[in-house]
Amino acid sequence: MLVVFLFSVATSTVLDRIGGKETDTVEDEPYQDALVLGSFSAAVLVLIWVVSQWSLKPLSRASAEAAMAGPRHPGLRLSATSIPTEITPLVEAVNGALERMEAAYEAERRFTADAAHELRTPLTVLSLRLQRARLDGQMDWDAVDGDVRQMEHLVNQLLDLARKEQAGRIAAVLPVNLGRIAREAAAMIAPLIEQAGRRLEVDMPDALSALGRADDLRDMLLNLLTNALVHGSGDVTLRGLVLAQACALEVQDEGPGVAAGLRDAMFERFRKAQPGSAGTGLGLAIVREVAESHGGRVAFVAGPLCIVRVTLPVQGDPPAAHHVAFFGRGM
């Protein structure tokens, strides 16, 4: 507004002079009006430049801050001080994106550190076995085989978790029959159930449909069943439940379950109820990733037995009939 006012004053002054108020001066000095107008124009341009620099200074500072964003400055945020009101929503949106980036960097950092820690132990054991074999001249091939299988299982689960995280962002979902997927998962693990002298009961609706990725949902159930087989005890039950606007898949064994204070933490990567127990600590993390990527959730159910429940959105009308099958002991 100040710039417009000064420019108007300068223009009015020159026009008044040209209009005859100072006719004698104009006639005597024909270039005086042009000089006055040029001087005022130059002053206005300088003033425009100064005002522009002053008003854009916060934006220049924000641009410089944004240019520094990256892994080396994960906690960086754009300053909202002196930012024009019209630009504030943009700054807040950028800061929100930076917060999400920081969380992603931290998650990847923890993932890499945990993976390295988990791989270091079997690698150290394998190295000691090889050194002992070099000194003794005898190789315990069964033990070496076990170490290699453990590392292979860990690497495969790491790759599987990374693939499922990526699939949850880009892969398309299709209608799937959860009852059929549950029976397929049970059939895949049936030899291990029978070998352990235990029994698996599958109680599922005949046609329980949901939108999802069949392979990932099958892997999710396999991880739940494996968790019950390795860490639980007694017979295992896989059942499907129809809830209001949702469905639930439950895996139950006859073990005592997990302490209330550890139930949420058990779904974190590399987390085990007992640090020295078998397994990689990735199975339940994979279960949570699949459940959440399908718009569902997973949790331990409070009670005397160990029950893990996955809740998923359901598609179509609730099924009426159930199909019960048994695997392993007592079939």
Q: How far apart are CA 269 and CA 285, in angstroms?
A: 5
3-state secondary structure the chain: CHHHHHHHHHHHHHHHHHHHHCHHHHHHCCCHHHHHHHHHHHHHHHHHHHHHHHHHHHHHHHHHHHHCCECCECCCCCCCCCCCHHHHHHHHHHHHHHHHHHHHHHHHHHHHHHHHHHHHHHHHHHHHHHHHHHHHCCCCHHHHHHHHHHHHHHHHHHHHHHHHHHHHHHCCCEEEEHHHHHHHHHHHHHHHHHHCCCEEEEEEECCCEEEECHHHHHHHHHHHHHHHHHHCCCCEEEEEEEECCEEEEEEEECCCCCCHHHCCHHHCCCCCCCCCCCCCCCHHHHHHHHHHHCCCEEEEECCCCEEEEEEEECECCCCCCEEEEEEECCC
Q: What is the pLDDT of residues 90-101, one digit of tens each?
A: 778 888 888 888
Q: What is the pLDDT of residues 57-72, one digit of tens each?
A: 676 777 777 777 777 7
Residue 2 has pLDDT above 50, yes or no: no
Q: Which residue has the higher pLDDT, 17 or 294?
A: 294
Please, what is the Cα angle at 296 between 108 and 165, to 5 degrees?
Answer: 25
Q: How far apart are CA 31 and CA 21, in angstroms?
A: 16
pLDDT tier at 23, thresholds 50, 70, 90: very low
CATH 3.90.1150.200 corresponds to the domain 173-328: no
Q: Which residue has the higher pLDDT, 21 or 200?
A: 200
Angle of helix 283-293 versus helix 141-170 axis, rounded to 10: 10
Give me the percent of the chain exceeding a pLDDT of 90.
Answer: 20
CB atoms within 10 A of CB 78: 21
Please tell me whether the overall predicted TM-score, pTM, comes out greater than 0.85 for this model. no
Q: Which residue has the higher pLDDT, 183 or 327?
A: 183
Q: Domain ranges for the chain, please list them.
A: 2-67, 107-169, 173-328
Q: What is the pLDDT of residues 203-257, one digit of tens each?
A: 988 778 888 889 999 999 999 999 999 888 999 999 998 887 788 999 999 988 8
Residue 11 has pLDDT above 60, yes or no: no
Residue 300 has pLDDT above 90, yes or no: yes
Q: What is the pLDDT of residues 141-184, one digit of tens each?
A: 888 888 888 788 788 888 888 777 776 665 667 888 999 999 99
Q: How far apart are CA 10 and CA 95, in angstroms?
A: 45
User: What is the total residue count of the chain?
Assistant: 331
Which amino acid is residue 28, in one-letter code? D
